[in-house]
Amino acid sequence: MYHNRGMITPHHLVAVIDYGSQYTQLIVRRVRELGYLAKLYTPEEIGEVTEPGAIILSGGPRSTSEPDAPDIDYAKLTSFGVPVLGVCYGMQLLNIKTGGTVRPSNKREYGPAALLPEPGCRLFEGVSPSSQVWMSHSDTVDHLADHCKIIARNSEGVPVALQWGESMFGIQFHPEVTHSHEGRTILRNFLSCASQLAPFDIGDFKRELIAEIRQKVGERQVVCGVSGGVDSTVLAVLLHESGVRARFIFVDNGLLRKNEAEEVQNNFQRMGVEIETVDASDRFLEALKGETAPEKKRRIIGSLFVDVFWDAVGDAEMLAQGTLYPDVIESASNAKSKASVIKTHHNRVERVLQLQEQGKVIEPLAFLFKDEVRALGASMGIPHDILWRHPFPGPGLAVRCPGEVTREKLEIIRESDAIFISTLRQWGWYDKCWQAYAGLIPVKTVGVKGDERSYEFATNLRAIVSEDAMTADWVQLPYDLLREVSNRILNEVKGTNRVLYDVSTKPPASIEWE
């Protein structure tokens, strides 16, 4: 049940059966982008699906010819009488279930291919006569059942799309990835075969979430950690709107950006939500003293955060966490235990696990993707600048300060970063960057300040674009903007005499320096 913990299950949703493809989440996302409610289910969970509007069987890494290959309860699947779409593995499974056979292959076909649809097929209405699609499969269909129609081939004449009856389809490519240029049209065509589909509307969704929060929390008090980031802010405002008794705790770990603690407090004040700030800066900086190993620094910060947070919480009746859908699914697919479903710093704490066991942890955003969280935030009136803040890592400036973290270095980073970010905003580049920051290179090099030689640290500017932080490209900022930032840093910030712009893609570099 991990995909659907605690979620409302209206009728006529699009049930996406997860066979483990790395793109499965994207199917859900695309369906929701088309305006319909979609949820993921494991193949075993099909028994829990009631009155779906349509069903999509995802792709997956396995071969249908393996002895313990994931299966489908075909009688149940067809009992609903709704349109079914099998994607890659899903198509092969349907082919077998309908009486065909699949030929295993030890070579994986991966990448772009041409889709040549048969004319007059509903699934490909409006799709070009030759359309690029994205393949990722090893097995291919071999023998087809008598009642199976080939509705598209690739440029070598191999069948890549099949149809059984009125509205059961199989496609050998991924319509959900953008490399399939007309994938959205194909998905829309498929969904148009359904007679009734539940709409996905963020306003309705918010009302359902609030009702669910009220019902789960009741008279109890719920505690929620806030960082100023999008997820915890939206969660806090949602809890606030739902009117339950709540405490919001913000830990200042001394590794925040310039004036960040005040800014976060002001932001919450603007939204009418009261937060408690715990200033633990000294404890964090003390704990980090002398430590230079990146992973150790992270561990120190993580475990101290947990201590400080739980000291502030005291006896929690309930805990709210801002876990999002990708975290739930990602953890669930790797999961051996429930423990790994919980995100961030809290996840190592026995206490959270106990609360979870007792049903005292709520994760109201666990069904949403990031852009949907932003839409939810906007529907509650959270200002644009808060919803579109760049991501900021939990360990804060420590990961932008290689080597030992000292107050002096943090000051250089804070001042340089404030100059960089305010200039990006002035020039209209802040929203074009996915993330941007100034960090410090802990090497002292020679320079001239006034008439004197100086030996000072270098400042590193990084600005990237990304979709999901898994890959990133550096931003081609205007030279004049960089010149203005560099001039100001060199003139105004004590302790640095050199400014560098990081032109590294991820991979192989990462976004942060540690």
Which of 88, 148, 224, 401 is catalytic? The answer is 88
Residue (327 or 372) nearer to ligand XMP, CB: 327
Considering the complex, what minimum distance in angstroms separates the CB of residue 467 from ligand XMP? Answer: 12
Residues 442-501 that bind ligand XMP (CB under 6 A): 469
512 is an interface residue for ligand XMP by CB under 6 A: yes
The gap from C-alpha 17 to its chain's centroid, in whole angstroms, comes to: 20
Phi, psi dihedral angles at 426 (to 5 degrees): -60, -40
**Which CB atom, from 241 or from 502, has the smaller least distance to ligand XMP?**
502
Look up tokens 């199989």; give the residue: 170
Question: Exposed, middle or buried: residue 187 (CB in 10 Å: 0-12, 13-18, 19+)?
Answer: buried
Determine the 3-state secondary structure of 86 from DSSP: strand
Choice between 392 and 501, CB closer to ligand XMP: 392
| Interface with ligand XMP (CB under 6 A), residue from 10, 326, 394, 447 | 394
> Least Å distance between CB 223 and ligand XMP?
19
Residue placing its CB nearer to ligand XMP in the complex, 245 or 506? 506
Compute the least distance from the CB of residue 469 to ligand XMP, in Å: 4
Active site residue 88: yes
Q: Which is nearer to ligand XMP, 117 or 396 (CB)?
A: 396
Angle at 100 between CA 96 and CA 104, to 5 degrees: 70
Binding part of the chain for ligand XMP, among 4-12, 261-269, 392-400, 413-421 by CB under 6 A, reads 392-400
Does the annotation count 148 as an active-site position? no
Shortest distance, CB of residue 300 to ligand XMP, whole angstroms? 12
Cβ pair 4, 16 in contact under 8 A: no
- Of the chain, the end-to-end C-alpha distance in Å amounts to 36
DSSP string, 141-168: E-S--TTEEEEEE-TTS-EEEEEETTTE
Which residues on adjacent β-strands are paired with residue 85?
56, 169
By beta-carbon proximity to ligand XMP, the closer residue of 186 and 320 is 320
List 50, 130, 445, 510, residue binding ligand XMP (CB under 6 A):
510
Answer whether 54's CB lies under 8 Å from 17's CB.
Answer: no
Other residues' Cβ atoms within 10 Å of the Cβ of residue 222: 23
Nearest approach in angstroms of CB 345 to ligand XMP is 8
Q: What are phi and psi of 152, to 5 degrees?
A: -165, 150
Q: Give yes or no for residue 330 binding ligand XMP (CB under 6 A).
A: no
Q: Does position 391 bind ligand XMP by CB under 6 A? A: yes
DSSP secondary structure letters along 443-458: EEEEEEETTEEEEEEE
Residue 323 touches ligand XMP, criterion: CB under 6 A = no
Q: Kindly indicate which of the ranges 45-53, 186-194, 313-321, 394-402 contains the residues binding ligand XMP, using the contact rule CB under 6 A.
A: 394-402
Helix, strand or coil, per DSSP, at residue 6: coil
Q: Does 506 bind ligand XMP (CB under 6 A)?
A: yes
Closest among 206, 266, 261 to 239, alpha carbons compared: 206
Q: Which of 323, 435, 460, 486 binds ligand XMP (CB under 6 A)?
A: 435
The single residue of 3, 148, 176, 260 carrying the catalytic annotation is 176
d(CA 491, CA 506): 31
CA–CA distance, 174 with 58 (Å, rounded to integer): 9
> Closest Cα to residue 229, out of 259, 250, 204, 253?
250
Element (H, E) at 227: none
Comparing C-alpha atoms, which of 461, 437, 456 is closest to residue 445?
A: 456
Q: Which is nearer to ligand XMP, 37 or 401 (CB)?
A: 401
Q: Cβ of residue 377: shortest distance to ligand XMP, in angstroms?
A: 18
Stretch that binds ligand XMP, among 139-147, 318-326, 369-377, 389-397 (CB under 6 A): 389-397
For position 243 contacting ligand XMP by CB under 6 A, the verdict is no
State yes or no: is 174 an active-site residue.
Answer: yes
Q: List active site positions.
A: 88, 174, 176
Give the interface with ligand XMP as residue ranges (CB under 6 A). Answer: 391, 393-395, 399, 435, 469, 506, 510-512
